[in-house]
C-alpha cells in the first residue's frame, strides 16, 4: 500500500497511486515517462536491445496490472527514493535474474551414456527462493566483503563518524592526532570500499555495468520490498 513518502517525491507517489488505481491518463503518462528510460538504462547495464525491450514492457505492465494473484508492483513503491530510481532497480533485478538463468541453461550437465536423457533431470531439486531479490543480495554481499577488507581502525572510524555521529574533530582529539588525518583516513577508506564493491559486482556479474553512484541509488531503492 502506498502510504510513505519523502520530501520531493510527492508527485511520484501521486502518480504511482493513480496508476495502481487504474486511472487511464496516469497509466499513459507513466509509460510515456519511463519506457525509454528503462530500455536505455538496461542496454547500458548489459542487456541486449531485445532483452531491454522485453524487460521494460514487462516491468511497466506489472507495475500497473500486476500478475495473476499478485498486486501491481507500484503498490510496493515507498516514496523514500525517486520513482525513476526504484523502477531502474526493479528492472536491473530482473535483468540479473534473466542473465543468471541464461548462464544456468547454458551450462546444464550432460550424460554421454544416455544420449536421450533430459539434462534437466540431472539437476538437484530446486531450493526455496531467497526472501529477497538477487540484486539486493548482490548489493549486500559486495558491501559486506568491502567492509570486511577494511582495517579495524578504518571500520572503527567509519562507525563512530557515520553511524554514531561523532565529529571528526572529536575523533582526532580521542586518538591524539590532527583532524586532517581523520579526514584523509575516512576519504581513503570510502575510496577503497567503493573500489572493492565494484570489483565484487564485476566478478559476480561481469556483464552488469554499474557505477558507484548507481550502487548507492540502488541501496536506497532496496530499503523496501522489491518484486521477486
Q: Could you read off the pLDDT of 96-108 as tens digits, one per residue?
A: 988 887 654 444 4
What's the whole-number mean pLDDT along residues 63-79? Answer: 85
pTM higher than the cut 0.95: no
Averaged confidence pLDDT in the chain: 83
**Three-state secondary structure call for residue 69:** coil
Amino acid at each position: 500500500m502506498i502510504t510513505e513518502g519523502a520530501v520531493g517525491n510527492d508527485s511520484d507517489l501521486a502518480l504511482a497511486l493513480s496508476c495502481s488505481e487504474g486511472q487511464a491518463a496516469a497509466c499513459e503518462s507513466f509509460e510515456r515517462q519511463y519506457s525509454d528510460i528503462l530500455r536505455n538504462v538496461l542496454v547500458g547495464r548489459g542487456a541486449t536491445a531485445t532483452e531491454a525491450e522485453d524487460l521494460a514492457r514487462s516491468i511497466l505492465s506489472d507495475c500497473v496490472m500486476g500478475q495473476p494473484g499478485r498486486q501491481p508492483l507500484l503498490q510496493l513503491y515507498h516514496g523514500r527514493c525517486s520513482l525513476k530510481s526504484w523502477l531502474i532497480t526493479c528492472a536491473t533485478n530482473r535483468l540479473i535474474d534473466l542473465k543468471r538463468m541464461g548462464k544456468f541453461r547454458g551450462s546444464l550437465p550432460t550424460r554421454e551414456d544416455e544420449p536421450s536423457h533430459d539434462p534437466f533431470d540431472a539437476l538437484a531439486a530446486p531450493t526455496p527462493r531467497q526472501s529477497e531479490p538477487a540484486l539486493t543480495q548482490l548489493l549486500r554481499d559486495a558491501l559486506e566483503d568491502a567492509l570486511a577488507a577494511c582495517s579495524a581502525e578504518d571500520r572503527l572510524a567509519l562507525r563512530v563518524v557515520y553511524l554514531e555521529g561523532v565529529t571528526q574533530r572529536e575523533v582526532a582529539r580521542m586518538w591524539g592526532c590532527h583532524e586532517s588525518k581523520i579526514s584523509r583516513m575516512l576519504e581513503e577508506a570510502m575510496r577503497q570500499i567503493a573500489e572493492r564493491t565494484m570489483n565484487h559486482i564485476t566478478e559476480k556479474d561481469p556483464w552488469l555495468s554499474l557505477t558507484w553512484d548507481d550502487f548507492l541509488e540502488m541501496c536506497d531503492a532496496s530499503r523496501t520490498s522489491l518484486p521477486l
